[in-house]
Amino acid sequence: MVCLGNICRSPLAEGILKSKVNTSKVLVESAGTGGWHVGELPDSRSIDIAKKHGIDITDQRGRKFSPYDFENYDFIYVMDNSNYQDVIKLANTHEEIEKVKLILDEIFPNENVDVPDPYYGGSQGFENVFQMLDEACEKIAERLQLGN
């Protein structure tokens, strides 16, 4: 799960998907394309929204996306089109590019919809983001359960 800062959107996506899959079989992690928040806790507003929905994300720490992630993960879900561009710049092969998917394509296929960055907004923005990611992660979890 990749966003810009790895403190607002992708930590929520990581926590939500982990809550829906067997984490002994599926490795779920998140990262940011920017390195400003490496080592930090998620934004307190993401922590609060996750907690309100019964998910604890306080074990997460900010991490920067690395080109090695292309080797370690089968799917790389990005939150918006800007993240998409930043991540595919680091890809070396067509197969690596193919791993990168806009997460909201899960619910709005081929519509190029972004998860809005809630960083500069209020708590309603975080609730909206939570709901979008919850719906998208439900689809991802269903597919992973089928083994593809």
Q: Name the minimum Å distance from CB 3 to ligand 4NP.
A: 4
Is 80 annotated in the active site? Answer: no
The catalytically annotated residue of 43, 69, 80, 117 is: 117
Cβ–Cβ contacts within 10 Å for residue 148, how many?
5
Cβ–Cβ contacts within 10 Å for residue 78, how many?
29
What DSSP designation does 7 have? S
Give the nearer residue to ligand 4NP in terms of CB position, either 79 or 144. 79
Is 45 annotated in the active site? Answer: no
- Who contacts 79 (Cβ-Cβ below 8 Å, separation ≥6)? 1, 2, 3, 4, 9, 10, 13, 102, 103, 114, 115, 117
Side-by-side strand order, sheet with 31-32: 31-32, 2-3, 76-78, 100-102
Q: Is 117 in the site for ligand 4NP (CB under 6 A)?
A: yes
Helix (H, G, I), strand (E, B) or coil at 76: strand
Q: Name the minimum Å distance from CB 97 to ligand 4NP.
A: 21
Q: Which residue is nearest to ligand 4NP (CB)?
A: 5
Give the amino acid at 146: L
Q: Name the minimum Å distance from CB 11 to ligand 4NP.
A: 7
**What span, in angstroms and rounded, lies between the C-alpha atoms of 111 and 65?**
25
Q: Is 45 in the site for ligand 4NP (CB under 6 A)?
A: no
Q: Is 5 in the site for ligand 4NP (CB under 6 A)?
A: yes
Which residues in 6-25 contact ligand 4NP (CB under 6 A)? Answer: 6-9
Exactly one of 22, 23, 27, 36 binds ligand 4NP (CB under 6 A); that residue is: 36
Is 3 annotated in the active site? Answer: yes
Applying CB under 6 A, which residues contact ligand 4NP? 3-9, 36, 117, 119
Catalytic sites, residue numbers: 3, 9, 117
